[in-house]
Structure 1
């Protein structure tokens, strides 16, 4: 309990901020180098492999965090828990890789005739070493952040060294895989600091029920997060997949960065729920909700207002159709952090996995129906609309179940001041568009962002948003 949850949140946001900057910079370069078709080919192959990576990891990345967080105070129990989960993961990885090979063989008649399928097979094979859940269970977010920065710097260099023409799609895929596999290997190098390997008294069966529950939920989540690209792949052209993938990438990396604030709740809430500390649970969730919405609301609005400039600057004019798509997708910047960063944490740490499973199953069914109805008519924009409506539905159902677990009043004064400050942001950015004659998209985007951020921050300070003041004091900007 000695680790600061505020520092953990900062480190986890730093980790995800790097995850934002790296894809934005590399995507801007790759989009111009490979074009919409090349980006679409890689996205489709990666999308297919992700289904099997999901099978390989089962529900361990989520369940493992809770299991380690609860066992870490007892060294022997922690060692045993880790090895049991690792062994289960080993068997599931072998099974998943075999299924992937059979599928590719049935599709291409010759095993891995498409090099992209062989490249992304490495993600499935190496997923056995995806032990991030161990470090998250110990709340080692500082290590996770530093390690991630190192791997992304190397990946960044590799992109510019090897991806130079539209024919370099395979090299791009290899670098994508290195970004994950590199993290896995570095995790192994630090393993001895946290656990000792022992095969005494292993009981794999005790994990089957919770893993199956988490895995079922993971399947449902992945269905409605991966199905859009899968259906676009088979219903539309590679260009449509490329437009959607890049638009979705911008919104989701912003959303994931904000979700990281709440992601650090899982190990701490697990301990609080075990000790039945309801007061601390309510205080923690309320504070994190206010902080998450303070960041997510302006991001959602800002993406909508600057969509044309974002697409032009990052991906070039050839991706201009993606501007409309990103406007459809921008509500996810506010919805994903709530479902993944708040409500899912409550349901998973309180032992209410069945509620979580029901929520994501609802999302999967809704997404399948909406994609089938909308993609044929609106193509990538139909997939975007389906994703937003699905996430809205999931948030509503999750909120209802979360309130059953522990009732919390989410409408606070800080939340209201965030909304009011967003209104000022809209006015100022619109004024820049109307009255500042700028022909450079990059310069216009920079001015819009600066004016919007300054205006929003000014609104929070004038309205005395306590979470804003708290953060500024922690980073020593104000006393």
Structure 2
């Protein structure tokens, strides 16, 4: 039986709001306490670890989510598929762990980040228990939300107890690892109680090809932002990595909240597509896209106009150089969100990953070329790195959209006025911000005034234009209020 999509979105949004508020509080404390160099060591180590993590997860999350969504009503198939994915995860996690340990020993044994790399290695083993894709396929967003909130709160308590200065970066990394393990093991126990393992009927070979394809397309950041972070650490310093990652994390916080709409609808879209219900698929795709763009564009432009003061409030004056980096990330976020719709909700759901891999590879190689060109011109920096990455990602969006319209024949118009109008509305933030900045306000007050006034202006535009998304949200809120009063 299908669960309420509105309820799923509610839980997912609640979870991401929590994930929005918590990193703002905790992240700010970590950045200010550890400083740019120390936290940069952890983040550079994480960048190296991520290359091995890609093989450890092996695309199981994305592939498992899609395939489990299609067979979730058949208990026997679910048991067989889950056991097969678990078996593959055990193999890839152990191989990745060995690979990281060898790489760390020969490449960084005499470096300060060596102990952190070894610590991150344990996370590769813990990946065996990462089965959240099963809960998402079954649309158990209530469990995911409650579990995550509790574990994150435990993490926060220990963070404030243990992290007191710039020398505590190892303890900081340890807390990150332990919170991940706790999150994984709780989900594994929950899933294991509902799905029986059946090693007699496992199938591995038939899943390898689609998994390899998913590994490539779902980890495109290895040729994009992950490459940027690694090259910054190798060619500049860990402080440069911290500026890049701070801006990326700030963008990620906002993007994760907005992208809830897309993540929650993937199982339902896969279900419609798998049952050849094209009419329902297109209707849901168009409606969700409209809602998504109504939030994506103002969030991106809003982040752009407050980028310089946001990094100071969040990380302190030492992170002021990250302001321009966040501004570029705000522009990049538009391409990231748009690409997520095209790749995850259309191309991947339609099982055309092989085409997606080619397009990502082309644009990824282009980004690699951009980075080496920046190094050759001696202008490689956190800001220029993400700028060229944004260019490559916008090209990817255009190529994906061309393929969807020309070859898949999906009746979806990305650049319709119904979608683009929210970008036009959001541009009002630019003159508003310019006028407000003429006032003599301190940093925090200026930040609050800019946020409140710009949000208010955007809401008024939606109100006076009688926007569909605005009316939809208003109607939903009124219905909830009426139910509570009765």
One fold, TM greater than 0.5?
yes
Relative to structure 1, is the Cα distance of residues 188 and 45 closer, same or farther in structure 2, using a 3 angstrom cutoff? same
Aligned residue for 1:38, secondary structure, equals helix
Q: Would the aligned equivalents of 1:417 and 1:463 in 2 still touch at CA under 8 Å?
A: no
From 419, 422, 428, the counterpart of 1:418:
422
- Tell me the CA shift for residue 438 of structure 1: 1.1
Relative to structure 1, is the Cα distance of residues 177 and 363 closer, same or farther in structure 2, using a 3 angstrom cutoff? farther
2:466 alignment partner in structure 1 = 464
2:74 alignment partner in structure 1 = 74
From 385, 388, 392, the counterpart of 2:387:
385
Aligned length: 477
Unaligned runs of 5+ in 2: none
Deviations 1:227-285 (A, max 9, x none): 11000011102211111111111112212222221112221111111111111111111
Deviations 1:360-382 (A, max 9, x none): 21232122111222254141111
Q: Would the aligned equivalents of 1:70 and 1:271 in 2 still touch at CA under 8 Å?
A: yes
2:403 alignment partner in structure 1 = 401
Structure 1 stretch displaced more, 126-135 or 174-183 = 174-183
Q: Would the aligned equivalents of 2:311 and 2:319 in 1 still touch at CA under 8 Å?
A: yes
2:477 alignment partner in structure 1 = 475
- Tell me the CA shift for residue 160 of structure 1: 1.0
Measured in 2, the distance between the counterparts of 1:478 and 1:362 equals: 50
2:433 alignment partner in structure 1 = 429
Unaligned runs of 5+ in 1: none
From 438, 441, 455, the counterpart of 1:438:
441
- Tell me the CA shift for residue 87 of structure 1: 0.4
Aligned residue for 1:331, secondary structure, equals helix
- Tell me the CA shift for residue 138 of structure 1: 0.8
Deviations 1:127-184 (A, max 9, x none): 1111111111111122212211112111111211111111000011112222322210
Deviations 1:328-360 (A, max 9, x none): 211122221221244322111111111221222
2:358 alignment partner in structure 1 = 358
Aligned residue for 1:197, secondary structure, equals coil
1:200 alignment partner in structure 2 = 200
- Tell me the CA shift for residue 9 of structure 1: 2.4
Q: Would the aligned equivalents of 2:71 and 2:77 in 1 still touch at CA under 8 Å?
A: yes
Measured in 2, the distance between the counterparts of 1:360 and 1:342 equals: 12
Relative to structure 1, is the Cα distance of residues 113 and 467 closer, same or farther in structure 2, using a 3 angstrom cutoff? closer
Residues 243-254 of structure 1 mapped to structure 2, 5 A cutoff? 243-254=243-254
Deviations 1:36-61 (A, max 9, x none): 11121110001111111111110111
Residues 337-376 of structure 1 mapped to structure 2, 5 A cutoff? 337-374=337-374, 376=378
Q: Would the aligned equivalents of 1:343 and 1:399 in 2 still touch at CA under 8 Å?
A: no
* TM-score normalised according to structure 1 size: 0.94
Q: Would the aligned equivalents of 2:45 and 2:113 in 1 still touch at CA under 8 Å?
A: no
Q: Would the aligned equivalents of 1:360 and 1:394 in 2 still touch at CA under 8 Å?
A: yes
Q: Would the aligned equivalents of 1:298 and 1:422 in 2 still touch at CA under 8 Å?
A: yes
Relative to structure 1, is the Cα distance of residues 135 and 340 closer, same or farther in structure 2, using a 3 angstrom cutoff? same
Measured in 2, the distance between the counterparts of 1:275 and 1:398 equals: 24
Deviations 1:96-153 (A, max 9, x none): 1111111112124589982211211121111111111111111112221221111211
Deviations 1:60-111 (A, max 9, x none): 1110001111111111111110001100111111111111111112124589
Measured in 2, the distance between the counterparts of 1:109 and 1:318 equals: 29
Aligned residue for 1:167, secondary structure, equals helix
1:224 alignment partner in structure 2 = 224
- Tell me the CA shift for residue 324 of structure 1: 1.1
Measured in 1, the distance between the counterparts of 2:423 and 2:281 equals: 25
Measured in 1, the distance between the counterparts of 2:382 and 2:388 equals: 10
- Tell me the CA shift for residue 437 of structure 1: 2.5
Measured in 2, the distance between the counterparts of 1:144 and 1:272 equals: 24
Aligned residue for 1:254, secondary structure, equals helix
Measured in 2, the distance between the counterparts of 1:377 and 1:169 equals: 30
Measured in 2, the distance between the counterparts of 1:175 and 1:341 equals: 33
Q: Would the aligned equivalents of 1:104 and 1:111 in 2 still touch at CA under 8 Å?
A: no
Aligned residue for 1:73, secondary structure, equals coil
Measured in 2, the distance between the counterparts of 1:111 and 1:187 equals: 35
Measured in 1, the distance between the counterparts of 2:257 and 2:371 equals: 26
Deviations 1:214-233 (A, max 9, x none): 12323444332311100001
1:158 alignment partner in structure 2 = 158
Q: Would the aligned equivalents of 1:289 and 1:342 in 2 still touch at CA under 8 Å?
A: no
Measured in 2, the distance between the counterparts of 1:334 and 1:366 equals: 19
2:187 alignment partner in structure 1 = 187
Q: Would the aligned equivalents of 1:426 and 1:452 in 2 still touch at CA under 8 Å?
A: no
